[in-house]
Amino acid sequence: MKIDLKSLNIEKVHNSFLTGEYTVKDLTEAYLGVIKEKNEVINAYLEVFYNDIDSQIEIADKMFKNGTATLMTGIPIAIKDNTLFEGHISSAGSKMLENYVATYDSFVVKKLKEEGAIILGRTNMDEFAMGSSTQTSAFGVTRNPYDITRVPGGSSGGPAAAVAGDMALASLGTETCGSVRQPASFCGLVGIKPTYGAVSRSGIIAMGSSLDQVGPMTKTVTDAEILYNTISGKDLLDSTSLTDEFKSTVEKSIFKKKIGVPRAFLNGGGINEEVLKNFEICCEKLKNAGYEIVDVVSDTMKYSLAVYYIIMPAEASTNLARYDGIRYGLSVDAPNLYDVYTKSKGKGFGKEVRRRLLLGAYILSHGFKEAYYRKALNVRDMIAKELLEIFEQVDVFITPTVPFPAFKLGEKMDDPLAMYMNDIFSAPANLTGVPAISIPSGITKEGLPLGLQITAPYLREDILFSIGKEFEKLV
């Protein structure tokens, strides 16, 4: 049966299941057909879980028959290659973990299984989530379905390309700094980074533990909200996971329909002209929809990227120290212990990962920890304090998601600093733990998607979804 995959959303699919228009198997096979047709070129999936899909469909069918089905039951979804799914390889896009088979389910996979979702497979990513283009994967680049000569963004480029290429209805990515929002922008999707602790990190291969977060990537804001509500919740295996009791104590401001624009932050240069023009059009549309657009002053936000690139490599170097050829990961035979360490890491880690690990070790070394790492933590606190002050004036603040549209494959690979500029608008939310969302906001003259980023106060995903749904109608 022919199903128009491009027109689907979660609620529409659910209603079609209920009316019998098509079955869970029909829909799943439709997505598998597109994967078979497109994946050789796009390289979104590293593995399709063919051996599990029939049993997952059977569970979903039973849930519809016994009346326990939810909106997520039977929904075909992709997960990122750093998300543990028991019995399946989770390699984090690295040769270091090429043969690692997960021995348990991550919290988010458990949640999806409980809802009867169909997990189609694991998708490509920048190695250990270190990258903004999905070009650092040990298993080949992923291409943008809008233009296969361009990147899909990263590090969650595989999950983004899977949804944008109609190879899944939704996906889960992870981000340490914009790795959900940036590929969502490049691929014309909605991507949300939840409040830190709202979604458990248990079973996610770590990069920077104070920054990492799992987030949905979908075609609509409503779908993102449904998926967020599915995967959020307290997890006893994650000490940073927030309880419902704690969430209820957080004071929620009155919705003022007031949106801030950090003009000084935007005037720092380096923003593509079409991106800037699109952003101003977005501001005007929101203003015409009844929102008050005001400039907000930010003295510390401009330091976010520099602070991030001190804290992140420091945390990554400690998290990845375990992959030494002895305790975890690839082990290369060598005549002595030192050579086992060096050869295993040299062969197991790619260039970008080695660069960041060396930088992190340097930052944390004697004599530099106080000068760099401690100072970065202090500035991080200053940024968080300033955001609190901004949110006293406005409901949210907005920026472009990324300073430029999707770039050509290979274009920035020899210039790490240019690549790191992808994260300039993403960093404040990750550093401070507040939620942010990217929503499709237009198309360039070359037909490339652009995104608007909305950042809200702590635990105010409800504001993001409310404004996001209204903004979708304006585009």
- Residues 207 and 279 occupy one common structural domain: no
Nearest Cα to 428, choosing from 447, 453, 449? 453
pLDDT digits (tens, 9 = 90+) for 414-448: 777 778 888 999 999 999 999 999 999 999 999 99
The answer to whether 155 and 137 have CB atoms below 8 angstroms apart is no
The residue annotated as part of the active site, out of 91, 137, 155, 304, is 155
CB atoms within 10 A of CB 251: 7
Q: Where are the alpha helices (DSSP H) in 199-294?
A: 221-231, 244-249, 263-266, 273-288
- The pLDDT assigned to 252 comes to 82
Which of 210, 227, 246 marks a domain boundary? Answer: 246
Q: Is position 426 annotated as part of the catalytic site?
A: no
- Residues 322 and 458 occupy one common structural domain: no
- The pLDDT assigned to 316 comes to 98
Residue 184 belongs to a domain: yes
Give me the mean pLDDT over the 22-30 stretch: 98
- Residues 362 and 340 occupy one common structural domain: yes
Residue 272: band (very low, low, confident or very high) from pLDDT cuts 50, 70, 90:
very high
What percent of the chain has a predicted confidence (pLDDT) above 90?
92
pLDDT digits (tens, 9 = 90+) for 125-150: 999 999 999 999 999 999 999 999 99
- Residues 311 and 265 occupy one common structural domain: no
Report the amino acid identity of residue 182: Q
The answer to whether 459 and 435 have CB atoms below 8 angstroms apart is yes
Structure tokens at 79: 């997960």
- Residues 297 and 326 occupy one common structural domain: no
pLDDT digits (tens, 9 = 90+) for 209-267: 999 999 999 999 999 999 999 999 999 999 999 998 888 888 788 889 999 999 988 88
pLDDT(269) > 80: no
Residue 422 belongs to a domain: no
- The pLDDT assigned to 16 comes to 98
Residue 238 belongs to a domain: yes
The answer to whether 467 and 438 have CB atoms below 8 angstroms apart is no
* CATH code of the domain containing 165: 3.90.1300.10
Give me the mean pLDDT over the 182-195 stretch: 98
Residue 57 belongs to a domain: yes
- Residues 277 and 171 occupy one common structural domain: no
- Taking CA atoms, 456 is separated from 102, 231, 468, in Å, by 35, 19, 11
Give me the mean pLDDT over the 102-120 stretch: 98
Give me the mean pLDDT over the 381-395 stretch: 97
- Residues 67 and 98 occupy one common structural domain: yes
Q: Is position 155 annotated as part of the catalytic site?
A: yes
The span from the CA of 24 to the CA of 17, in Å, is: 7
Least confident of 157-161, 174-178, 243-247, 406-410: 243-247
- Residues 223 and 359 occupy one common structural domain: no
- Residues 324 and 384 occupy one common structural domain: no
What are the strands of the beta sheet with 213-218, ordered from one edge?
45-48, 118-123, 76-80, 170-175, 213-218, 190-193, 436-443, 449-455, 396-400, 258-261, 292-295
Q: Is position 179 annotated as part of the catalytic site?
A: yes
Collapsing DSSP to helix, strand or coil, 87 comes out as: coil
- The pLDDT assigned to 61 comes to 98
Task: Tally the domains of the chain.
Answer: 3
374 DSSP 8-state letter: I
Which of 205, 223, 246 marks a domain boundary? Answer: 246
The residue annotated as part of the active site, out of 179, 241, 304, 344, is 179
Collapsing DSSP to helix, strand or coil, 333 comes out as: coil
Give me the mean pLDDT over the 177-186 stretch: 98
Domain assignment of residue 152, given as a range: 5-246
SS3 content of the chain, % helix, strand, coil (to 5): 45, 15, 40
- Residues 388 and 361 occupy one common structural domain: no
The span from the CA of 44 to the CA of 189, in Å, is: 15
Residue 21 belongs to a domain: yes
Residue 425 belongs to a domain: no
Residue 361 belongs to a domain: yes
- Residues 93 and 134 occupy one common structural domain: yes
Q: What is the mean pLDDT of the chain?
A: 96
Give me the mean pLDDT over the 79-104 stretch: 98
The span from the CA of 438 to the CA of 452, in Å, is: 5
Residue 423 belongs to a domain: no
- Whether residue 155 is preceded by a cis peptide bond, meaning omega within 30 degrees of 0, is yes
- The pLDDT assigned to 261 comes to 97
- Residues 272 and 180 occupy one common structural domain: no
pLDDT(171) > 80: yes
Which of 205, 224, 246 marks a domain boundary? Answer: 246
